[in-house]
A and B are shown apart, each in its own frame.
Chain A
Amino acid sequence: QSALTQPASVSGSPGQSITISCTGTSSDVGGYNYVSWYQQHPGKAPKLMIYEVTNRPSGVSTRFSGSKSGNTASLTISGLQAEDEADYYCTSYTSSSTLDVFGTGTKVTVL
């Protein structure tokens, strides 16, 4: 079973801001500040964009930010650029024995 639910797709125009949600439960997203986000371009390995809900690894653009409210975590991309078009996945520490630690994935399209 997929523990973390994401919208299948999100789109926006260049320069706009978009938000991707990651909905879990109190056993994962809501219970711990251990949410991370990955960006994956076609044919490439995933790239860590956010960890511990809000932290950006060195080298990740400040246009990417993370937040959490209750059982839902969010990734916001500000000033959308063509290079942001990719698939995005969330993960979370979980106290339940889930089979799927990665979210269902969201395809971001830049119009």
Chain B
Amino acid sequence: QVQLQESGPGLVKPSETLSLTCAVSGYSISSGYYWGWIRQPPGKGLEWIGSIYHSGYTYYNPSLKSRVTISVDTSKNQFSLKLSSVTAADTAVYYCAKDLGYCDSTSCTYFFDNWGQGTLVTVSS
């Protein structure tokens, strides 16, 4: 059974960089699948941040692309999210998830079948 667990600071100061890691157990990331980050501001809907393939290919939401970096560490079986220059608008619950589907140069299929429990990140001074 695949399990995902997000970790990282729960409080980040404005203009700084938000950094989160998603540890995967029960499946080797290097075996395949796409892995994604999704966030949800308090009381609002879901927003896809980006996805990464085990080989390192990345796909980002155009609205966040200039500030986002997603990377994968197959030796630790984990993948990470960095979001720079954060503001209060980046306050959200951040989820990592495994994608059943795929991404290509146009889009992804967004079939996230396994999710972490989510971690609340607050941007405040």
Contacts and interface: CB of A to CB of B under 8 A. Distances in A.
Interface of A: 34, 36, 38, 40, 45-48, 51-52, 57, 89, 91-95, 97, 99-105
B15 to A, nearest CB: 23
Contacts of B107: 93-95, 101
Interface of B: 38, 45-48, 61-63, 95, 97, 100-101, 106-113, 115-118
Given A93-B106, A99-B61, A102-B110, 14 more contacts: A34-B109, A34-B111, A45-B97, A46-B38, A46-B115, A48-B100, A48-B111, A51-B111, A92-B110, A93-B110, A97-B62, A99-B62, A102-B47, A105-B45
B110 A101 contact: yes
Given A45-B95, A48-B113, A99-B61, A93 B45 contact: no
A67 B39 CA distance: 27
